Structure 1
Amino acid sequence: MSSTPVAAAYLAELAARMGRLLEQNAGAIEAAADAVEKTAKADGLAYLFGTGHSHILAEEAHYRAGGLALAVPILSTPLMVHEGAVASTGFERMPGMVVPILEHYPMGANDVLIIASNSGVNTATIEAAGIAKTRGTTVIAVTSQEYSRQAAHGRTRLADIADIVLDNGAPPGDAITAVPGSELRVGPISTSIGAALINAIFAEVAVRLQAAGADAPIYLSANMPGAKEANDRLIARYKSRNRHL
């Protein structure tokens, strides 16, 4: 018997939910892969945006060993948690906050914007999706359909705007593990599942590109043979368009 039964139960439940992702999102995963592949072949960029903890998914894809170099994170300190977590909650709900941020990221019709938002209702998220749509950019949402339906209260959801919706299956509140003797729950899952979905799509695209005779722009881990030379070539290709390299 496990001496860490709660940890074991959490990991088992997370693994089970991971296992259902393809069945629940098969069409959306294919559509997202198609969109990112089209972007790659047009020498476009895959922008990634999220507020609060969801910004972690933008950083997960950025300059990632085994990841695509066309990934560009949209990062702004007020919307992140490292210098003011409480304040970031207020900023992500502030109308107009995202407008000047997106002026630094000239996404267009050849690009995609992947927006991660578990609740799918915060103002910055909704406005970012709307701005991208006006620019002709394909919007891919990584969100919880169940949570966003509960949180909306009549408001527009990210899932209502996005061209493609990937449902992470997270319950309202994100956490999946009950704390006995209370109504509290621990063990959030949206970050783990969101990262898995994005990496699965990028992996699909990379293999498709290679199969079509195009060199997939894949970063190598810095300690692998030939990594510096390969990565330097990719940095030279994308640095002028990725302000975070």
Structure 2
Amino acid sequence: MISALTYFNETVQLLQQIRDTQLDNIEQAAEICAERIANGGLVFLFGAGHSRMMCEEMTPRQGCFVGFYPLVELALSNHAATIGMNGLRGPLFLEKVEGYADEILNSFKFGPHDAFIIISTSGIRPVIVEMARGVK
């Protein structure tokens, strides 16, 4: 029980730290998303690997907000292999291929009222950096 309580307390502490240091940024991002969706745009979401799961959490399902659209590149997120590195070798390689983000972006059409959220735990993989530059 001590481990569970420690986990709970540290999680609450982390959430309070985020609230205390990032609330203005979160509110600003929420306003951008609401304004874009209200004007007929979409909020595109992109994350590679496990960061894709955060995109899926924001993707509409019954009872959720509409207007969020995930850009899921299965080659960067498919961990189905049961041998080797649990299927991670291919996606880890592709995250480093320069120009891959441009190829992903070429598959979609974006409008003037759209917004983009890029999720990454590292923020340094070429596909993430190029995606941010590409949507700018």
Number of the residue aligned with 2:68: 71
How far the C-alpha of 1:87 sits from its partner, in A, is 1.7
Residue ranges of structure 1 left out of the alignment (5+ in a row) = 134-245
Q: Which amino acid aligns with 1:23?
A: D
In the alignment, the residues of structure 2 paired with residue 8 and residue 90 of structure 1 have an alpha-carbon distance, to the nearest angstrom, of 39
1:44-69 deviation per Cα after TM superposition (whole angstroms, max 9, x unaligned): 00110011100101111113344221
**TM-score scaled by length of structure 2:** 0.86
Sequence identity, in percent? 28
Name stretches of at least 5 consecutive residues in structure 2 with no aligned partner. 81-86
Alignment length, in residue pairs? 130
SS for the counterpart of 1:75 is: coil
Matched, 1:8 2:25: no
Partners in 1 of 2:107 and 2:65 — Cα distance? 21
What is the CA-CA distance between 1:75 and the residue it aligns to? 0.4
| 2:93 equivalent in structure 1 | 90
Q: Give the corresponding residue for 1:27.
A: 24
With a CA cutoff of 8 Å and minimum separation of 6, indicate the structure with the bigger relative contact order: 2
After superposition, the C-alpha distances for 1:56-109 in whole angstroms (9 at most, x for unaligned) are 011111133442211100101111142332321111111111222122222232
Instruction: Map residues 3-152 of structure 1 onto 2, 5 A cutoff.
Output: 5-83=2-80, 84-133=87-136
Task: Give runs of ≥4 in structure 1 deviating > 3 Å.
Answer: none
Structure showing greater radius of gyration is 1
What SS does structure 2 have at the residue aligned with 1:64? coil
What CA RMSD, in Å, does the superposition of the two structures yield over aligned residues? 1.5
> 1-side partners of 2:48 and 2:110: how far apart?
18
